[in-house]
Amino acid sequence: MLKRQALLGLAVSLVLSLPFVAEAAPPPRPTTPLVVKAARLFDSASGAMVTPGLVVIDKGAIIGIGAGAKIPAGAQTIDLGDATLLPGLIDLHTHLSGEASGDWNADELDGFKTSDVERGIAATLYAERTLLAGFTTVRDLGSSGLIDVGLRNAINAGKIVGPRMLVAVNAVGARAGHCDPTSGYRPGLLKEPGIEEGVADGPDQMRAAVRYAVKHGADVIKVCASGGVLSLRDKVDSPQMTQAELDAVVDEAHALGRKAAAHSHGAEAAKRALRAGVDTIEHGSFLDNEALVLMKKRGAALIYTPVLCLRERLKTSGAPPAIIAKAHAATEKMASTLKIALAKNVIVAFGSDAAVCPHGSQVKQFADMVQRGMTPAATLRSATSVAAKVLGMEADLGVLAVGKRADVIAVPGDPLKDITRIEKVTFVMRDGVVYRKE
């Protein structure tokens, strides 16, 4: 998780440099049924390609699929030609409230000088860019100043353009741990954080931190079970919470009807989180055989976050040598851990940690996942049907089928033959509203 946010001016310039910019507010929902046609359709339930591609939409829901679907009278048709229709993509690990620049020290300083209002405005641009890249749903795992809650609420109210969001408010973690925002600074310089910032000591305080996050709008609880790459004082794979503390966090999250996601690069931290009943392991760089066997047994998902830009960005941004070394170790090990997880049939789902790399650039991960041993169909399912099940939203999302929400995207050609086609999204619909059509 990023500890500091990028400059608002940088955010604006990044967005304006992209080849697509949407309206400031969502376009109106169509008043008549829509038929979206293409040469083919990806069935994310089976992983097969279906021809021809045809989806019938009315009032934000899918009412027909395939050549035999009944077309309502007065329906409008959008014919996308030699393209593939897919469900809207799902990213299970984002941080839409910020984005790293190319200057480590500037980002650190910006954390002290930029107001939450400015960060919130910048976040609207990151949300828009994410949606237009094809991600219609995201799980946002840790913010500050309730920016994630405000962003989610504004998107839900139709005030701004962005993906459907499930948010965590503050990540919950131990004092001096990866998610302690004051770790690495001299004593007395900053206010000592407490449960309002997600920092806690002992099981009782951990429960209180979970309750605080839920009180202020959390849909999911994020817990920092291990050290991290971008925090200066800790080892990337070190466990940072006791078994009792993790038990308290996960028990309280589940009691309040929220799933729990554990940031855990290290094996021992992951095993403690899994014994506590956590639902997902984020990153999982150094998982060992015992941890992966336990994941399979518990049905927990590995959220694979390769963060493709990380090492190069840190080298050129002036990051501390210790941070660069941790990034190298984690990214090198993460690739081999993925291969072992696949061999053991562990659930692998798509996450990006976007903010570390630019929002919208996570579409490049699909090709990396294929290179690491996944089939093109498996990578697409990891961000559609598999991700929807991880969220517990498989009744509404993840598959183009009658009764599901009308989240539909399109890419040119056939992504099963060339996975890089997923990087060229030309059509985006969320809840029956078209946000991008080329």
Delineate the domains of the chain, giving CATH numbers in brackets.
34-87+399-437 (2.30.40.10), 88-391 (3.20.20.140)
Across residues 188-193, what is the average pLDDT? 88
Q: pLDDT, tens digit, for every residue of 341-392? A: 999 999 999 999 999 999 999 999 999 999 999 999 999 999 999 999 999 9
In this structure, how many other beta carbons lie within 10 angstroms of the beta carbon of residue 119? 22
Evaluate if residue 22 carries a pLDDT over 50: no
Q: For residues 167 and 148, is the Cβ–Cβ distance under 8 A?
A: yes
> Each residue of 226-284: pLDDT tens digit?
999 988 888 999 999 999 999 999 999 999 999 999 999 999 999 999 999 999 999 99
**What are the distances in angstroms from CA 189 to CA 104, 175, 199?**
20, 16, 17
C-beta of residue 318 within 8 angstroms of C-beta of residue 351: no
Burial classification of residue 278, based on how many CB atoms lie within 10 Å of its CB (0-12 exposed, 13-18 middle, 19 or more buried):
buried
- Strand-pairing partners, residue 259, are 220
Q: Which of 183, 209, 312, 224 is CA-nearest to residue 1?
A: 224
Instruction: Provide the strand spans (E) within 120-176.
Output: 135-140, 164-167, 173-174
HSE-CB of 334 using CA atoms within 13 angstroms: 27
| Percent of the chain residues topping a pLDDT of 70 | 94
Give the rounded distance of the alpha carbon of 327 from its chain centre.
Answer: 19
Q: Token pair of 355, please?
A: 């903010």
User: What six digits make up the tokens of 286?
Assistant: 């150094």
> Going by C-beta distance under 8 Å and a sequence separation of 6 or more, which residues neighbour residue 251?
207, 276, 277
Residue 361 DSSP code: G
- The per-residue pLDDT for range 401-413, each reduced to its tens digit, is 999 999 999 999 9
User: What is the per-residue pLDDT for 9?
Assistant: 39
pLDDT at residue 376 in the model: 98
Rounded Cα gap, residues 203 and 408, in angstroms:
43
Q: Which tokens hold the place of 69?
A: 């679907």
Confidence of residue 24 (pLDDT cuts 50, 70, 90): low
- Across 133-146, average pLDDT: 96
CB 420 within 8 A of CB 367: yes
Q: Six-digit token pair at 254?
A: 């589940």
Spatial distance between the Cα atoms of 279 and 284, rounded to a whole number of angstroms? 13
